[in-house]
C-alpha cells in the first residue's frame, strides 16, 4: 500500500507448523547411564541442554503465526 509517493506500507504473515503435527525431533540415544545402570528414557523424546525453548522438549513446536507491518521509505 502506498502511503506517500516515497513511502510504502507492507503487510506480511509467517505461519509455522500449519498442520499442528507433533513430530519427535530428538530421542534419547543413551542406552545406559553408566556401568550396569540402564536408562529408563531410552528412545523417548529427550530434552536438549542449552537449546531454545521450542527445541528443549524434543517434540516439534505447536502451530504459531506472526503478522507484521513494514514501513519502507
In-domain check, residue 1: no
pLDDT of residue 22: 74
Beta strands in 1-73 (DSSP E): 8-16, 32-34, 37-38, 64-72
Higher pLDDT, residue 12 or 36: 12
In-domain check, residue 50: yes
For residue 23, the enclosing domain spans: 8-72
In-domain check, residue 16: yes
- 3 state SS of 27: strand
In-domain check, residue 2: no
pLDDT of residue 18: 82
pLDDT of residue 10: 93
In-domain check, residue 30: yes
pLDDT of residue 50: 53
In-domain check, residue 13: yes
Is the per-residue pLDDT at 9 higher than 80?
yes
In-domain check, residue 46: yes
> Structurally, how many domains does the chain consist of?
1
Question: How do residues 30-72 score in pLDDT, each as one tens digit?
Answer: 667 677 777 776 777 776 655 555 555 666 677 889 999 999 9
Amino acid at each position: 500500500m502506498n502511503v506517500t509517493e516515497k513511502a510504502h506500507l507492507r503487510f506480511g504473515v509467517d505461519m509455522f507448523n500449519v498442520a499442528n503435527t507433533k513430530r519427535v525431533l530428538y530421542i534419547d540415544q543413551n542406552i545406559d547411564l553408566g556401568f550396569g545402570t540402564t536408562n529408563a528414557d531410552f528412545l523417548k523424546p529427550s530434552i536438549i541442554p542449552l537449546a531454545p525453548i521450542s527445541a528443549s522438549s524434543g517434540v516439534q513446536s505447536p502451530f504459531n503465526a506472526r503478522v507484521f507491518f513494514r514501513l519502507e521509505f
